[in-house]
């Protein structure tokens, strides 16, 4: 409650000077706030641009140092790895996800070998980069996602990531019950310190297009939707049981995806639960800013600052964003 009235109380007094505005600023941005996504491709000595995501590239494993070195120098705490799997390695069961020599596992091992614990590694646990259907799970005879059969594969995938050296396994599939099964398996295999980041609020959004282009899963989807397992973008309260189930089953961190269009969901989770809440500034949100800036409709730098600050204001502890490297240069 504000006690006082104009003119004795003038709210603009503290906004008058730059130094006073800095003193009372409620939220700030620093390198500690960001997770850097990295796309992977097979081959050697490649740094391949992604046409739908200006300024973002796919890297072969022997070129990873090019981007990880920079991330460490910029004091980014963690990278997130996403593979572009060759079609020859895709099948109906996502078998390549369990290959200990797949792109992700080899990349984890290379980063850990070279950098030890200088930077954290997070890996998605989901089947969409590996299935012919492009879905996050296994389809049954009725072409419906088989929840429990999918979980069996996800558990094995999570363990393979942990064995390779991943610090955080991040189930992004939205199958019911997968967090508990993964946590139990990690405990059994004595991966006591491997964290689980649960995409507990992953919406069936129209903002994933550039990402699906980056990992080349959109053609496999053939226009089908993920509405039967990802959340309806008209819902907010639905996230409460999703979050509570995942926390109860052993999640260490919760992720909201997309982030910018779901600040109310971030705020809800932050105010209700005491574990860290992360936000994913997704590919569609990134590309919209890039496109508008290219046409001189907006000031890219200012809009990015405002956008990322909105995540912090809503309550996000960290932000996975394709602007991670650039924003840190701008912070200087």
pLDDT in tens, the chain (332 residues): 777 889 988 999 999 999 999 999 999 999 999 999 999 999 999 999 999 999 999 999 999 999 999 999 999 999 999 999 999 999 999 999 999 999 999 999 999 999 999 999 999 999 999 999 999 999 999 999 999 999 999 999 999 999 999 999 999 999 999 999 999 999 999 999 999 999 999 999 999 999 999 998 877 887 789 999 999 999 999 999 999 999 999 999 999 999 999 999 999 999 999 999 999 999 999 999 999 999 999 999 999 999 999 999 999 999 999 999 999 999 97
Q: What is the pLDDT of residue 12?
A: 93
What sign has the CA pseudo-torsion 106, 111, 113, 117? negative
Catalytic residue among 257, 270, 290, 312: 257
Q: Which of 24, 123, 35 lies closest to 71 in space, CA to CA? A: 35
Q: Is the pTM of this model over 0.85?
A: yes
Q: Are 302 and 283 in contact (CB under 8 A)?
A: no
Q: Name the architecture of domain 31-331.
A: Alpha-Beta Barrel (3.20)
149 is catalytic: no
Whether the CB-CB separation of 146 and 88 falls below 8 Å is answered with no
Q: Which one from 74, 84, 109, 202 is the annotated catalytic residue?
A: 202
Angle between the N-to-C axes of helices 300-314 and 324-331, in degrees from 0 to 180, rounded to the nearest 10: 100
**Known active-site residue 270:** no
State CA 240 to chain mean position distance. Answer: 20
Q: Indicate the DSSP class of residue 11.
A: T
**Domain coordinates in residue numbering, the chain:** 31-331
| pLDDT for 33 | 98
Token pair 């000077």 is found at 17
């Amino acid at each position: 409650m504000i006690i006082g009235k104009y003119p004795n109380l003038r709210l603009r007094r503290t906004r008058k000077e730059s130094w006073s505005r800095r003193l009372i600023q409620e939220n700030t941005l620093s390198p500690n706030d960001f997770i850097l996504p990295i796309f992977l491709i097979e081959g050697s000595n490649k740094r391949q641009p992604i046409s739908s995501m200006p300024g973002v590239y796919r890297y072969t494993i022997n070129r990873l140092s090019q981007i990880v070195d920079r991330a460490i120098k910029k004091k980014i705490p963690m990278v997130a790895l996403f593979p572009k799997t060759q079609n020859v390695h895709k099948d109906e069961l996502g078998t390549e996800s369990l290959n200990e020599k797949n792109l992700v596992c080899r990349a984890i091992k290379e980063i850990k070998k070279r950098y030890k614990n200088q930077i954290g590694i997070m890996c998605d646990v989901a089947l969409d980069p590996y299935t012919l259907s492009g879905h996050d799970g296994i389809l049954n005879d009725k072409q419906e996602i088989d929840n429990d059969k999918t979980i069996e594969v996800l558990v094995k995938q999570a363990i393979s990531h942990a064995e390779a050296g991943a610090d955080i396994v991040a189930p992004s599939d939205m199958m019911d019950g997968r967090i508990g099964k993964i946590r139990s398996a990690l405990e059994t295999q004595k991966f006591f310190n491997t964290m689980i980041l649960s995409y507990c609020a992953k919406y069936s959004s129209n903002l994933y297009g550039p990402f699906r282009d980056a990992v080349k899963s959109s053609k496999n989807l053939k226009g089908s939707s993920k509405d039967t397992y990802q959340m309806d973008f008209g819902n907010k309260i639905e996230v409460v049981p999703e979050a509570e189930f995942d926390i109860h089953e052993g999640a260490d961190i919760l992720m909201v995806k997309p982030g910018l269009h779901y600040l109310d969901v971030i705020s809800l989770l932050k105010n209700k639960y005491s574990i860290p809440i992360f936000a994913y500034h997704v590919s569609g949100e990134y590309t919209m800013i890039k496109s508008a800036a290219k046409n001189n409709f907006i000031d890219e730098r200012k809009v990015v600052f405002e956008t990322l600050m909105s995540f912090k204001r809503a309550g996000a502890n960290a932000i996975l964003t394709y602007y991670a490297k650039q924003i840190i240069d701008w912070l200087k």
